[in-house]
């Protein structure tokens, strides 16, 4: 089983015994658990096997259906339980691109799943500080909160902290937006946000500004949660499935061109040969597909977004 280097990392390749295996490329994840998940932390996927149909039988989500049976893993996005948690193993999750970690509370022995950080392995110890600074940690600093010493003792990979405790320039993932709720940003494989500013009123932090990988700069609450590090499996987008059947296993059905359909199924359908009827390219619902057609409402912008992500808007972006 040879391994081919690509961009500083290795992809697993296979001997081309069949055409589907010839083009198969996978990131090397030898540390993943090869057994089954914890049964009580999973539940059945509702709507599985409906092929993107709703209760009336109409297709509401295209290109879905025929995938392998799977169970949904219950992920702890809030990380509200304090105390040290020991990472038992890193698992593959068929419902997401990132890997998940099975952690166990050192005191209560309660197990839960979290999104694993890149580099996290079995035996690591992670902790959540959403409930505040523990008394023993505060006592070790002499009863006075020193920001530098506090960061040195809490900012470790996999730890969950409120945003106001994270130093500037730190990469975080599983970022929340509002206090008391779970993570909503940077949950996919290899994603992260960078803390770039803290808005203060006097000596109190009001909001924290983060930059997402898309280029968007937005504010989040100072009491929102985040996890230190980068989401696991960062080379997920370099994988090659190798054959169409592997997409079918993942519940992905083929995408048919509009000009290959009948006139009743698509605005480009019908006619003789490969003709779309001398009309501008549109989607199956008639929305213009090219030329930078705008669909966003500028009257009600998101007040939490400081700087929007750069958009192409149908024109070639300058290289400057």
At 41 the pLDDT is 97
pLDDT digits (tens, 9 = 90+) for 85-111: 999 999 999 999 999 999 999 999 999
Judged by average pLDDT, the poorest of 31-45, 60-74, 229-243, 296-310 is 296-310
pLDDT digits (tens, 9 = 90+) for 209-232: 999 999 999 999 999 999 999 999
At 139 the pLDDT is 84
At 89 the pLDDT is 97
**Cα(312)–Cα(214) distance, integer angstroms:** 12
The bridge status of strand 9-12 relative to strand 26-27 is antiparallel
Of 239, 245, 247, 242, the closest CA to residue 4 belongs to 239
At 2 the pLDDT is 61
What does the block give as tokens for 28?
A: 């090397």
- The CATH number covering residue 43 comes to 2.40.50.140
At 1 the pLDDT is 58
Report yes or no on 261 lying in a domain: no
Quote the domain boundaries for residue 93: 3-124
At 4 the pLDDT is 64
Overall average pLDDT of the 244-248 stretch: 96
- b/e burial code for range 294-308 (CB count within 10 A of at least 16 → b): eeeeeeeeeeeebee
Phi, psi of 179 (to 5 degrees): -70, 145
Judge if pTM exceeds 0.85.
yes
Asked whether the predicted pLDDT for residue 43 surpasses 70, the reply is yes
CA angle at 46 for the pair 245 and 89, rounded to the nearest 5° = 70
Percent of the chain exceeding pLDDT 90 equals 71
Report yes or no on 66 lying in a domain: yes
Report yes or no on 133 lying in a domain: no
What's the N-to-C CA distance of the chain in angstroms? 43
**The total number of structural domains that make up the chain:** 1
Report yes or no on 111 lying in a domain: yes
Report yes or no on 225 lying in a domain: no
Overall average pLDDT of the 252-269 stretch: 94
Overall average pLDDT of the 145-169 stretch: 91
Give the pLDDT band of residue 22 (cuts 50, 70, 90): very high
Give the pLDDT band of residue 279 (cuts 50, 70, 90): confident
Give the pLDDT band of residue 9 (cuts 50, 70, 90): confident
At 317 the pLDDT is 54
At 224 the pLDDT is 94
At 136 the pLDDT is 85
Overall average pLDDT of the 273-285 stretch: 87
Residues facing 60 on adjacent strands: none
Average pLDDT across the chain, whole number: 90
Report yes or no on 17 lying in a domain: yes
Report yes or no on 138 lying in a domain: no
Of 210, 228, 101, 92, the closest CA to residue 155 belongs to 228
At 312 the pLDDT is 66
Report yes or no on 12 lying in a domain: yes
pLDDT digits (tens, 9 = 90+) for 168-189: 999 999 999 999 899 999 999 9
């Amino acid at each position: 089983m040879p391994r081919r280097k690509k961009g500083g990392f290795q992809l697993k390749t296979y001997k081309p015994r069949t055409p589907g295996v010839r083009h198969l490329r996978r990131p090397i994840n030898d540390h993943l658990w090869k057994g089954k998940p914890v049964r009580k932390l999973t539940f059945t996927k509702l709507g599985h096997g409906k092929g993107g149909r709703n209760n009336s039988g109409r297709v509401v989500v295209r290109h879905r259906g025929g995938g392998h049976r799977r169970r949904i893993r219950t992920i702890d996005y809030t990380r509200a339980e304090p105390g040290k948690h020991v990472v038992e193993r890193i698992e593959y999750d068929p419902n997401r691109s990132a890997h998940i970690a099975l952690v166990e509370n050192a005191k209560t022995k309660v197990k839960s799943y979290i999104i694993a950080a890149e580099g996290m392995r079995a035996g690591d110890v992670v902790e959540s500080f959403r409930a505040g600074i523990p008394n023993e940690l505060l006592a070790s600093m002499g009863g006075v909160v020193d920001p530098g010493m506090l960061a040195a003792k809490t900012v470790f990979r996999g730890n969950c902290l409120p945003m106001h405790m994270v130093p500037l320039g730190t990469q975080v993932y599983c970022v929340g937006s509002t206090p008391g709720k779970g993570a909503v940003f940077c949950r996919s494989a290899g994603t992260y946000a960078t803390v770039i500013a803290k808005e203060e009123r006097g000596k109190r932090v009001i909001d924290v500004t983060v930059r997402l990988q898309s280029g968007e700069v937005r504010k989040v609450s100072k009491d929102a949660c985040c996890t230190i590090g980068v989401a696991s499996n960062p080379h997920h987008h370099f994988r090659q499935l190798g054959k169409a059947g592997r997409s079918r296993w993942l519940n992905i059905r083929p995408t048919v061109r509009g000009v290959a359909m009948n006139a009743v199924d698509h605005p480009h359908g019908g006619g003789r040969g490969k003709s779309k009827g001398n009309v501008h390219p549109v989607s199956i619902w008639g929305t213009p597909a090219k030329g930078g057609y705008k669909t966003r409402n500028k009257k009600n912008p998101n007040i939490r977004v400081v700087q929007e992500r750069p958009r192409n808007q149908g024109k070639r972006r300058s290289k400057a």
